[in-house]
Amino acid sequence: MLNVAYYNGKISLIEEMMIPLNDRAVYFGDGVYEVVYFKSGKIFALYDHLDRFYNSLRGVFIKFNMSREDLQDLLYSLISKIDDNSEGIIYWQVSRGTAARNHVFPNPSVEPNLLAYVKTKAAPNMKNKIRLITTDDIRFKMCNIKTINLLPNILASQKAEEMGCAEAVLHRNGIVTECSHSNISILKNGVLKTAPLTEYILPGTVRKQLIELCGANGIPVDQTAFTLAELIAADEIILMSTTAMIRSACEINGETVGGKAPDLLEFLQDKYTERIITELNIQ
């Protein structure tokens, strides 16, 4: 198999997997999710993702009884069904269960549903720069929980796509929060500046790892909010996500940005690549 799907114990191709109409993920988006990168049968930063996943479950009061160890074993069993040398992503989500549509939680006897899939996908070239737009952050006040309620993110992503850009930078009254599907930071005068974790900021795993890499290499980190004006004036703009890894921007709303600290940017990207190689023991 190239792309493997899983739903409550059933395994099939993604295209063949069926889920019940009454899964609360279908009509409410009532669930949480995670995405991890894997290569050659090994998963990168899995513990960080599991930490966030179980925190998200607690944040929305979903009682998911599978242990971290059993979930980890399941994820590894899924990637074992594809080619040993492949790389890609594993997506999984847990919804509150299958029950008739009702805004209140279903009966406590209703078990959560676990959906997962493995998709082969080449890692991005982190050195390729991307174009951005800016747009108002209209998301609700639980952005720190990785729920599957992503309609505002979808609208922002579509707006960026229509403008020929790869990402949309979200802001609230001129204060940058994050992007439609990534965290965002800036480099200025040798300092990594990144917004502090609040209800408007997802605790990104790559963001966490980048802060750790800066600490290990003597690069100062300033966890304070920054404005759109500071974003435009930054030496480099850094976007971070599991699928994009660490990318930089060359344009915002048609205006050239960044490109003023290429050595530091490349150093951080290379250190991140080294971390992946070391953790996955890639030869």
Active site residue ranges:
146
Q: How far apart are CA 3 and CA 165, in angstroms?
A: 28
Q: Which of 221, 233, 269, 271 is nearest to 248 (CA)?
A: 269
Side-chain-side CA neighbours of 193 within 13 Å: the count stands at: 19
Is 203 within 8 Å of 144 (Cβ atoms)?
A: yes
C-alpha distances out from residue 178 to 39, 85, 118, 125, 235, Å: 27, 34, 26, 21, 18
CA angle 28, 26, 7 (to 5 degrees): 130
Structure tokens at 76: 């590894």
Q: Which of 225, 157, 150 is nearest to 193 (CA)?
A: 225
Is 169 within 8 Å of 182 (Cβ atoms)?
A: no
Structure tokens at 34: 């995670």
Sequence-distant (6+) residues with CB within 8 A of 229 are: 174
Is 185 within 8 Å of 192 (Cβ atoms)?
A: yes
Structure tokens at 138: 């209209």
Is 95 within 8 Å of 123 (Cβ atoms)?
A: no
Task: Measure the N-to-C terminal CA separation of the chain; round to a whole number of Å.
Answer: 24
Q: What is the CA radius of gyration of the chain?
A: 19
